[in-house]
Amino acid sequence: MNQIDKLNAVLSYIKHSFIGKDEIIDLLGISLLAKENMFLLGPPGTAKSAIVRQLSNCLEGGKNFEYLLTRFTEPNEIFGPFDIRQLKEGELVTNTEGMLPEASLVFLDEIFNANSAILNSLLMALNEKMFRRGKETRTLPALMFVGASNVLPEDEALNALLDRFLIRVNCDYVDPDLLHEVLLAGWKLENAPATQKPTITPEDIIALQKQARLVDLTPIRKQYVDLVHSLRNTGIKVSDRRAVKLQNLIAASAFICKRTEANVSDLWVLKYIWDTEEQIEILEGIINQLIEKSESEAVHPQALYNKLPNPEEVLKEVAYLTQKWQTASLSFEEQNIIKDKLRYVQTRCEWIKNPEQKQYIQQEIESLWQKILQTI
């Protein structure tokens, strides 16, 4: 079995254990190939840590580091204590055995509890894959960092931490229709004897990461540039640095499908670059609209999975835009951003199945357009 088949076998194995979590598991695979970090937002009990732990168990020869952060977490708990023997000799050397600096896969739960004592070290580890303490500097072997939290950060200092995670995924409870399958899979996972599981080594992953960088992005370069401009006009921040790094995700989507060239469907990964929960459906509307026009073959399965919009969320977005429009002294640029967002919300509204909900929301959208026209 070649290396990419090994990775796909591991992802398939995890999907059978965690019903309804295919989206998250596929994105873990994409993140691994792209060598980018991934953030999971969701309430307790949604299998965030269990999925990452299962992936780590399939990483043969790799070490896993998992930690629940609190406001009082100290550097020693994450990076390791100072070596007492060398401390007696006047040398500040960290004993990293079993700690983050030696891990192939790192999972940090409640990451936004990070305090000032560990924040700078964490930022360097996430961004540069480096650990620095005093005179000591070392490269980290981590293939990927996964962070999780129940809430998004409100403190501006912690926004820098969120920025280090290129992919952000909403991890919620599974669809009620799948609950029966979830219970069966969970029972099997808890009680079944250990069976032969597919594995992949860190060396395999590193080799795949290098191969993924060889994917040709030329076929989608123009669409990607246009999309970045469109997202910026909608108010979704895509810095030049982030735009460059996002190419790794697009290439990984193509490569995991065993293609040497990217196509428009690979842009599906850009649904997961939101900064706020309000941006989730806006991004889905923009990206899905683009993918639906594509006639590409051999697409990633997740590219074909257009989620139906949640009517409550769409209505919530319309209410937010209405309130925003009524704010005094909006700049010309801010007015254009609201108009662009409203157009995308209007597009999403077309996909709502319930006719009564759809009609009501359309009326609210039309009412806001009337208010906008009155001020022009």
| HEC readout, 201-266 | CHHHHHHHHHHHCCCECHHHHHHHHHHHHHHHHCCCCCCHHHHHHHHHHHHHHHHHCCCCECCHHH
In the chain, pLDDT over 90 holds for what percent of residues?
48
Looking at residue 7, its pLDDT comes to: 95
- Taking the C-alpha atoms of residue 277 and residue 270, their distance in angstroms, rounded to an integer, is 15
Torsion of CA 198, 67, 278, 332, to 10 degrees: -120
Work out whether the CA dihedral 251, 253, 254, 258 comes out positive or negative: positive
Spatial contact of 79 and 100, defined as CB atoms under 8 Å apart: yes
In this structure, of 8-17, 141-150, 192-201, 310-319, the range with the lowest mean pLDDT score is 192-201
Looking at residue 86, its pLDDT comes to: 61
- Taking the C-alpha atoms of residue 278 and residue 159, their distance in angstroms, rounded to an integer, is 16
Tokens of 211: 């191969």
- Taking the C-alpha atoms of residue 337 and residue 15, their distance in angstroms, rounded to an integer, is 39
In this structure, of 158-167, 190-199, 366-375, the range with the lowest mean pLDDT score is 190-199
Predicted confidence band at 189 (pLDDT cuts at 50, 70, 90)?
A: low
Q: What's the chain's length in residues?
A: 376
Tokens of 231: 């997202």
Torsion of CA 306, 312, 313, 319, to 10 degrees: 140
Q: Crossing angle of helices 278-292/332-349, nearest 10°?
A: 70
Tell me the three state secondary structure of residue 83: coil
For range 51-69, the mean pLDDT: 91
- pLDDT tens for 26-47 read 999 999 999 999 999 988 888 8
Looking at residue 193, its pLDDT comes to: 58
- pLDDT tens for 283-293 read 888 888 888 77
Given a cut of 60, is residue 362 above it in pLDDT? yes
Q: Which amino acid is at 325?
A: W
Spatial contact of 107 and 49, defined as CB atoms under 8 Å apart: yes
Tokens of 67: 């930690």
Q: What is the pTM of this model?
A: 0.78
**What DSSP character marks residue 135?**
T
Looking at residue 169, its pLDDT comes to: 94
The class of domain 3-191 in CATH terms is alpha beta
Looking at residue 167, its pLDDT comes to: 95
Looking at residue 306, its pLDDT comes to: 59
- pLDDT tens for 76-135 read 999 988 776 666 566 677 878 889 999 999 999 999 999 988 998 899 999 999 988 777
**Residue of higher predicted confidence among 296 and 364:** 364
